[in-house]
Homo-oligomer: A and B are copies of this chain.
Amino acid sequence: MVRWQPGATERLSVAALELFEEHGYDQTTVAEIAERAGVTERTFYRHFPDKREVLFAGSGQLADRVSAAVAAEPEGARPSLLVDAALAGLAASFPDERRSYARRRQARLDAEPALRERELLKLATLKATLVEALVARGASDPAATMTAEAALSVFHVAFLRWIGEGEQRGMAELQREALGELRAALGGANPGADAGR
């Protein structure tokens, strides 16, 4: 029987981040991560398929949350409500108490090509999940892909600001700001809003 240790995923993620910061990604072994988290190497592999994955513990949950948020909108909801729902689902995965960890984690991802590669794969999976959720709600491709890309661009800009030095505002507010900027850049929404930029 596979034994799932409660809290082990979280402990392994934190231990890995610390070790990557202290010694670098390449110099850190799975055995060392497991040891610092107080579990066996076998337990590590019950939670993560490989070392690259250890900083992406929440990625499956993130995609599920986005998918569920889009699916939960009432029948006949306009596309813009589906986008709002997707963004709300994303924001829910980035509460303020995670900001400090997210900031340190992103610095490791940016520094290490193997982690950056895994991040790109996760983002591609997230996009595919969102496209699928939009199509299930009646959007047609390739328009659904365009909408998903725009929503994830908004999320990404907001996320970069959220982890920015000294930023205090939450993800939901930063996503609203970024969405407003994108609307203005695409015209039509509120023609005066971007005057003077």
Contact = CB atoms under 8 A, between A and B. Distances in A.
Interface residues of A, number: 40
A132 interface: no
Contact of A183 (B142, B149, B188): B188
B179 A79 contact: no
A176 B153 CA distance: 20
A18 interface: no
A80 B186 CA distance: 5
A185 B70 CA distance: 13
Contacts of A196: 76
Interface in A132-153: 138-139, 142-143, 145-147, 149-150, 153
Contacts of A78: 184, 187, 191, 194-195, 197
Interface of A: 76, 78-84, 138-139, 142-143, 145-147, 149-150, 153-154, 156-157, 160-161, 178-179, 181-191, 194-197
Contacts of A79: 184-185, 194, 197
A23 to B, nearest CB: 31
A197 B139 contact: yes
Contacts of A185: 79-80, 82-83, 139, 143, 146-147, 150
B143 A178 contact: yes
A93 B183 CA distance: 26
Contact of A189 (B81, B161, B188, B194): B188
B189 A183 contact: yes
